[in-house]
Structure 1
Amino acid sequence: MADTRIPLLKFDSINVVYNQGKANQVHALKDVSGEIHEGEFVSIIGPSGCGKSTLLHTLDGLIKPTSGSIHVNGRQVEGPGGDRAMVFQDFALMPWHTVYQNVAFGLRLAGKPDREIRERVMHYIQLVGLEGFEGKYPHQLSGGMKQRVGIARAFAVDPKVLLMDEPFSAIDEQTREIMQEEVLKIMLYEKKTVIFITHSIDEAVFLSNRIFLMSVRPGKIVDDLKIDVPYPRTLETKTLPEYQSYKAKIWDHLKGEVARQYLRGEA
């Protein structure tokens, strides 16, 4: 049955072509369309170089599409806006600012009053488990703690859509699994909409309601896979037969796309 809900985010026929001289154009995305509804956690996964991050940055307004349109809550996206917030893989913290100042940064840019800033900053610092570290600087934090600061900063500005670009790729595997559970708890508690880029099949299945599977470049969404495993999820969820079945299906897709890359001489 077709989903008749009005999507929170909708993108139609997105094309991104990088011009590196007339003889060397790179068609990164081709006719990419999709809909994401409020409260969904949607991962995007595909072979290396397929345009996952390009798509995410285009949805954020950091990259202007060559053609196509993007709408959030019915309003066309023309550039970055307060209805979207990005969490980057390299943390992107300001080293001269404390944890508190980093989390407060977007709120101060928005001109929020000091009392509201303090309430929101402390709420999200507590929510990501960093209470007591408000006065610490990034160099005093572990990789996982830095990423918690980035997540708190993004949530603090109360975006409609949270965009996460491989946020756990720079942290160790043990911390990564802990962060997956923490992000799910926050997402469910805050009822936020998340678009998540990852190379990890396991991570995508564990976190997502749906997964967009992308083709080799020029990147296209070739499947929209619903993950029918109930929340809340724990590490024990990963032992379920249906969980393993989803992983196998995605792995088959990736193997096929990588084989196409080899045949084209791009891998």
Structure 2
Amino acid sequence: ARARADGAARPRQRAARGGIYKSAEGAKVYGYYAKAGLKRLTFCTRIQRRLQDAVRDHAVLSRLLERVQREGAEAPAGLPARVRSAVAAVLGGEGLEEREFLRSVTVTFSVHFWLGRCLYVHRRDLDTALEALAALEAAKVPTPPGDRGALERARQEWRRVRQAFVQLQTQDASGARRAQVEERLAALEASHGPMRARKEALLRMRQQRHARRHPPDACGDAPLVRRLERKLRAWAHETARQRRRAALAEARERTRRLELGRKRRWDGKESYADFMRRRRRDG
């Protein structure tokens, strides 16, 4: 009901600019609010009756997100800590309470490989939104590129993310709600199945190519042996190139001598005496 009243589609992960939105249902306008996102979090402010008040809220929200970005560039703190610090500093400076200013926070989590879209977890306050983000992040384990078990690990990771998402969406809900969420995810997986199959085939091809180029080490000296082999191949290529250059230079010199010899032969177009005088003059 809230999404229909807002009259705006749910934001994607990179919708960081945001703007002013109108909360309405049909011809009835409830008010205006600001919305903007950063990375995996999208913030919606309180609904204001007057447009200029929503514009001021958008300015405050923009300063808040700019502070989060600035602190991320200056310090290696995690996103939740930076968000909490920015909220306390910016809203505190404006004399605003978090629960008064923020109407909702949406967590966006990309699962394009499996569903062809993102997952969204909507929360009414910042703390529960950050908890949802932490739960989804904990289910995701980075996989090294070219890892032979990358596809199977990705499947295991998706099962964990799927389970965490269902749990987040069905907190304090009935079993019917859980079944509904499971059914929706299954439908999305089925509709994205052909595209996912092509992606999996491409990933397997890349893994096979990586395995051929980087076979498992038979001993601890294998990296040194491969480095030596690369050096020897480079030396062989350089030697062959120098030989080709020398052969080309020799061929050019041979051609030059032949041309010079032809010029020094008497062709009968002039008298032999004149030819001999010209040769003595040219040296």
TM-score (norm 2): 0.27
Q: Which has the higher contact order (CA 8 A, sep 6+)?
A: 1
- Larger Cα Rg: Structure 1 or Structure 2? 2
Structure having the higher strand fraction is 1
Structure having the higher helix fraction is 2
TM-score (norm 1): 0.28
